[in-house]
A = this chain, B = another copy of it.
Amino acid sequence: MTELTNYCLKIAQQAKKASAEMAAVTGEMKNAWLAECARMLLERKQELMAANAKDLAAAEQSGLAPAMVDRLRLSEKTLKEMAQALAEIAAFPDPIGTIMESTIRPNGLDVRKVRVPMGVVFFIYESRPNVTTDAAAICVKSGNAVILRGGKEAIHSNVALGQILSDAAAKVGLPRNAVQLLDTTDRGAVDEFLHLPEYINVAIPRGGESLIKRVTSEARMPVIKHFAGNCHVYIDQAADYATAESVLVNSKCQRLGTCNTAESLVVHSEIAPSFLPRLAQALQARGVEIRGCTKSCSLVPGMLPATDEDFYREYLAAIISCKIVDSLEEAIAEINEHSSGHTEAIVTKDIQAARQFTTCIDSSAVMVNASTRLNDGGQFGLGAEIGISTDKFHARGPCGINELTSYKYVVFGNGHIRG
């Protein structure tokens, strides 16, 4: 075995041991750790800033784009926000040990489905250092041990943050190794961990599509993926115009680069002649370029024609595709064909149309008269999240504390046996 293999194996074994100890850790202790981490983030600001300065210097030297350098930067403000996020996670109800379902069987057997931690989480993420504390906090709150692997651009900041997470654990008595941050930037380390399903229960990549694809193809354990989205807003023939404009504009323009931003507009042909020119104007006034199907272009002078590929695109930019359909059924088919299964919205006053749309659209969230931007753990009241899953297995939609748990059946009898 190479030195790297040994290093990774040891960390994975330590995590598994810590996860067994985590099974009996109280919510009180997890919250004490969160509070201590938050306190230390502010107390040890100088140390964190100094480490961060090294990352920033290296980033500038290597010619990283200014926007990327900005994402790396820690400031008094970001540290306060990070501490605040930990406090919010502490305030979330403890999920572990709660009874999700229970039945008393006719023979008196008491069957309970109880929420338990997943075990060991391997979290791989890119450059923003606040993800280090967020991810650690969510994993620990849900009773897991976590191995954190940040991006190499943030290595000094992350190691300093990891030290705080460990020091806080030692101080409050959280199992040693419940939180371990890798101090190597060797890319091979990621594959080593992804090949250890006997120690790691789930891998979670957070970052660009290439990271997620690489992790998914290498992992021998389950992966929670949060791909970005090609989200649709469908304006039904029974839509109210003001609601249509407000939901569409918010879905597209409230923030351009997020996974729940609308990238495709679908309009019913009955109302397109009256609605589409005004909707186009509202978008164009906000600098959004519209690429339309032939019918759309015929209704809006100067609209650019869309290619077939446009209807599959996630622009993450001030562009939206637009298609006119002749029925709700056609809208549903159009959306299920092109969507990435993230978030789709319908604007309608017709209850039957809303019911059909919500039943037939196969996405993590289906919004009725509400913006696609609302598909978010915080907005849904699920607390902090590590992303929005477009999978259908285990976790779908916002992935928060509960989504990092499993369950077991705890069964009480009085000497019950099988006849």
Contact = CB atoms under 8 A, between A and B. Distances in A.
Contact of A97 (B359, B410, B414): B359
A368 interface: yes
A416 B370 contact: yes
Contacts of A177: none
Interface string A359-395: 1101111111111011110011100000000011110
B406 A396 contact: yes
Given A359-B97, A396-B408, A418-B371, A381 B103 contact: yes
A246 interface: yes
Contacts of A393: 118, 201-202, 222, 393-394, 406
Interface in A76-122: 97, 103, 105, 109, 111, 114, 116, 118-119
Contact of A411 (B359, B366, B391): B366
A161 B40 CA distance: 66
Residue from A103, A118, A362, A416 whose CB has the most chain B CB atoms within 10 Å = A416
A306 interface: no
A250 B417 contact: yes
A312 interface: no
A336 interface: yes
Contact of A392 (B118, B354, B366, B391): B118
Interface in A213-234: 222
A20 interface: yes
A63 interface: no
Contacts of A381: 103, 105, 111
Total identical chains: 2
A413 interface: yes
A222 B398 CA distance: 19
A396 B201 CA distance: 13
A103 B23 contact: no
A247 B312 CA distance: 59
A32 B416 CA distance: 37
A281 interface: no
A413 B24 contact: no
A302 interface: no
A117 to B, nearest CB: 9
A393 B389 CA distance: 14
Contacts of A397: 407-409
A105 B410 CA distance: 33
A118 B393 CA distance: 7
A242 B242 CA distance: 74
Pairs of residues from A and B, 9 with the lowest C-beta to C-beta distance, nearest first: A370-B413, A250-B417, A392-B406, A373-B418, A394-B394, A222-B393, A365-B409, A243-B415, A370-B416
